[in-house]
Amino acid sequence: MEFNHADLFEGLADTIGDRVAVVCGMERRTYAELDAEANRLAHHLLAQGVGPGQHVGLQLYNGIEYIAGILAALKIRAVPINVNYRYVEAELSYLFTDADLVALLYDAEFEERVSKVSAPLLRHRIVVGGSSATAVPYGEALKDQPSTRGFPTRSGQDVYIIYTGGTTGLPKGAMWHTEDLFMAFGGGNPYGEPRATPREVIDEAVKATPMVMMAAPPLMHGAAQMATFIAWWMGSTMVYVRKFDAAEVWRTVERERVFTMNITGDAMARPLAEALAAGSYDVSSLFVVSSTGAILSGAVRDRLQELLPNVMILDNFGSTESGYTASGVAGSSPESGLKYQPNSTARLVVLNEKLEPVGPGEMGTVAKSGRIAFGYYNDPAKSAQTFVTDRDGTRWLLTGDLATVHDDGTITIYGRGSQCINTGGEKVFPEEVEAVLKGHPAVFDAVVTGVPDETWGTRVAAVVEARPGAEPGAAELDAHCRERLSGYKVPRSYAFVPEIVRSPAGKADYRWARKIVEASAL
């Protein structure tokens, strides 16, 4: 028996159909209701000629329609493609073409942008929450379609693609086989050994006491999609907010009695802490806050823990290409390098340029073997750089993160090698400097990047967003950094902005940061 996400969900709909599967705002669907809605959408797509292996784009804010769209595509062995809803026309044109989209579900709010974009294979559009001269309204797409199944037999080798990146270069689609994806993100049992069979997943979900879990990031980010499936494989309820708003997140936690919440680094943790400190919310149901996809700096994590003294705050390591691979070790922080304990089910090592494990204290690249993505869609060159095979025939994913390994098996991760700043021959990791800057009481957010310098080749520069009412100066921040960092790591220049630009998932946009710093120097 093979693990396939559509098969598993249908098994749950048939056994725990009356449980609530998903909540967004005031809308909710049971497993059976969501299955029926996805069936109708799947039959509509089939009627439009969408079939196995073809790609269906999802350019939506969080909502029932998004997750129904993912399920509908998987049911007919098509491939759901996440589209960054912040993309402008040129970026959308690239992605629609690169991903070979044949169909698109999009929010009516994006009508102006979508209507101006064409792609060679895109032939069918479905608009959510409005009408369009060139698209079928979502409700009309479902109308008169059967709520029953009757779809092709599926496989654990069916493909699932998650587009990632775009902050340092063009976005790329990480390709997974559904069985590998299932195993890499918890195997139906994130707190223990993976389930042995699909039947076991369903049987254990039936027996489980349902939890209410929340994904605060957008579903266009792989972390929220995978958090949803993890919740379902445990027979639980997944909760979203349509757009991230810290106060709305806490209102939702209170209303839905959320037990666990998934966030993405400081970009979500800091406003959540600010809103919690300023408001009055009943968060007594909350037991775990887990960050994935971006680091929690020490100052932000400590503030959140202070406000949530009875909540476990977890810092997990993983990527779109690797799945969940390691958990942060208590007491470590980005200021001194983040220390992680590899997941017992993941083969995670630190390799040198010869693809050999490094010794204690030596720096190398974090690599994972086993259940990993199998390449990037339409990008054989990038696939060959990232997915490599050593002399023994082991296939590795090179994550791009630089790290050292310790005698006890833990690893200390310093940051992405692609963002490492070489200034006068010294290596500076932006994450370390960002964490120190965000520890200053007048700084709300910061992004650190490297810009050309005649003397040093590259100099460290920082883009800073101050807290409301605060006006930190360069000299003040310089003194703060010099107390905590070696001199070569201290930013040589600062640019102050009203708001830091990040991706919807909270990741830094380093291209934007470089442009801001360079413009401020003119």
> pLDDT tens digits for 432-464?
899 899 999 999 999 999 988 877 788 999 999
Report yes or no on 162 lying in a domain: yes
Predicted local distance difference test score (pLDDT) of residue 68? 98
Please check whether residues 413 and 430 belong to one and the same domain: no
Same domain for 450 and 403, yes or no, is no
Domain count, the chain: 3
Residue 247 placed within a domain = no
pLDDT tens profile 17-40: 999 999 999 999 999 999 999 999
Residues 6+ apart with CB under 8 A from 308: 276, 283, 286, 289
| 317 located within any domain | no
Residues 6+ apart with CB under 8 A from 264: 216, 217, 221, 223, 291, 292, 293, 294, 505, 506, 507
**pLDDT recorded at residue 202:** 98
What are the start-end ranges of the H helices in 349-493?
Answer: 380-386, 430-438, 474-482
Task: For residue 95, give the CATH number of its domain.
Answer: 3.40.50.980
Please report the pLDDT score of residue 384 as a whole number: 96
b/e per residue 58-97 (b: at least 16 CB within 10 A)? bbbbbbbbbbbbbbbbbbbbbbbbbbbbebeeebbebbbb
Q: In whole angstroms, give the CA distance from residue 352 to residue 365.
A: 6
Work out the burial of residue 209: count CB atoms within 10 Å of its CB; fewer than 13 is exposed, 13-18 middle, 19 or more buried: exposed
pLDDT < 70 positions in the chain: 1, 165-169, 330-340, 343-346, 521-522
The sheet carrying 79-82 orders its strands as: 79-82, 55-59, 101-107, 124-128, 136-137
Q: Which CATH number belongs to the domain containing residue 340 in this structure?
A: 2.30.38.10
Residue 283 lies in a domain: no
Same domain as 449, residue 411: no
CATH number at residue 516: 3.30.300.30
Instruction: Find the domain containing 16 and state its range.
Output: 5-190
pLDDT at position 191: 82
**Residue 439 belongs to a domain:** yes
Domain boundary among 166, 190, 214: 190
Q: Looking at the structure, tell me whether residues 467 and 405 fall in a common domain.
A: no
pTM: 0.88
- Domain boundary pick from 190, 218, 246: 190
Q: Position of tokens 């939506």?
A: 60
144 domain residue, yes or no: yes
Give the CA dihedral 199, 204, 206, 211, nearest 10 degrees.
Answer: -140
Q: Are 401 and 449 found together in one domain? A: no
Query: Quick one: 402 and 430 in the same domain?
Result: no
- Clarify whether residues 46 and 177 are in a common domain: yes
Quote the pLDDT of residue 427.
77
Residue 97 has which token pair?
A: 């073409």
The last residue of a domain, from among 190, 206, 237: 190
Residues 400 and 482 placed together within one structural domain of the fold: no
Q: How far apart are CA 517 and CA 492, in angstroms?
A: 11
> Residue 306 falls within a domain, yes or no?
no
Pair 364, 356: CB distance under 8 Å: no
Residue 437 lies in a domain: yes
Same domain? 435 vs 405: no
Same domain, 430 and 346: no
Q: Tell the residue number behind the tokens 């994130």, with chain if given.
A: 190
Same domain, 440 and 412: no
The verdict on 341 and 457 lying in the same domain is: no
Residues in the chain: 522
| Residue 169 pLDDT | 62
Q: How far apart are CA 460 and CA 356, in angstroms?
A: 31
